[in-house]
Amino acid sequence: MKKWILMAGAALSLMLALAGCTSSSENSTSDQKLTIVTTFYPMYDFTKNVAGSQADISMLIQSGTEPHDYEPSAKDIAKIEQADVFVYNSEDMETWVPSVLKNLDTKKTTVIDASKGIDLLEGTEEEHEHEDEDAHHEEEHHHAHDPHVWLSPVLAQKEVANIAEGLEKADTKNAKTYQENAKAYTQKLAELDQSYQTAFQDAKNRTFVTQHAAFAYLAQQYDLKQVPIAGLSPDEEPSPKRLAELKTYVEKQHIPVIYFEEISSPKIAQTLADEAGVKTAVLNPLESLTSEQQEQGEDYISIMQKNLEALKLSIK
């Protein structure tokens, strides 16, 4: 009799244990966070601000890698395929995306094109914009359209709205959280936009010279004029003729600063600055943040505020 009671007790314990396992397994599945793969830094930061603690978010293109030159490895593609959500800026920036999407199961992975609905500027128009002044740009470039929409705080708000909409579809039970997070972050971006508007509304000199032609959307937003040394890809190099024309332009227009970016070599900007006898300063296109910057808590908004202070050196 005692033996039967012991066996019955053991069986009951086993059943309870199994029930507990099943229950915790079901709970962990239902509580499982979204896995989101983003391409490069602005997409990562925007998504992080919308998703909050509801997702595990990773970034394919790490600091120190030039996003214009990046091609995904087989491991990277597998990572996208295994994700719940994939966020990218545009096919004009991440030119490899269409080939990846051909083989992606979009029923399993929600794809978010963050620049959906934004009218992209023609790449060639921006590079030829200042021909009437003194400079002719004859270099080829690698982008049919300018992909740098995130550098306008107003268009950044549209990208955030697209990301929020995609996350709501992918994870309906947390839709309200995504909406609230997006609203709070959009308010911060609206305040950033207001800072730019206030800084430049009465400026007499509205022209700035930069090594990388990344700031056309920002210039358009605040009625400024970007004069790029090279094209839309930071690795493009100007001809000696182009540099000579720019030196004359900088001197005639009394341009006080030549801007360069931290992750690319400043050599070209420095050469022009030395030739024209002017200073250099950093204007960050936010295509990548260094590990140090991220550790120090820098983000899209803090870097854009630094860009604003840098632009005030020219636009005043």
pLDDT at 27: 34
Q: What pLDDT is recorded for position 130?
A: 41
Q: Mean pLDDT for the chain? A: 86
154: CB partners within 8 A, 6+ apart: 189, 193, 221
* pLDDT given for residue 21 in this prediction: 46
Burial 284-313 (b: 16+ CB within 10 A, else e): bbbbbbeeebeeeebbbbebbeebbebbee
- CA neighbor of 227 nearest in space, from 132, 306, 300, 119: 132
60-69, 87-96, 288-297: least confidently modelled range: 60-69
Nearest to 312 by CA among 257, 251, 248: 257
CA atoms within 13 A on the CB side of 99: 8
Whether residue 269 is predicted with pLDDT greater than 50 in this model: the reply is yes
Q: What is the pLDDT of residue 235?
A: 63
Residues 290-296 have a mean pLDDT of: 89
> Angle at CA 12, nearest 5°, toward 10 and 17?
95
The predicted-structure confidence for 56-85, as pLDDT tens digits, reads as follows 999 999 887 888 889 999 999 999 999 999
Residue 271, judged by CB atoms within 10 A of its CB (0-12, 13-18, 19+), counts as middle
Q: Is the pLDDT of residue 169 over 70?
A: yes
- What domains are there in the chain, each with its CATH number? 33-185 (3.40.50.1980), 201-311 (3.40.50.1980)
Give the bridge partners for 282, in sequence order.
260
| The pLDDT value given to residue 218 | 98
Ranking 35-49, 60-74, 204-218, 267-281 by mean pLDDT, the lowest is: 60-74
pLDDT digit string (tens) for 19-57?
444 433 333 334 689 999 999 999 999 999 999 999 999
pLDDT at 238: 83
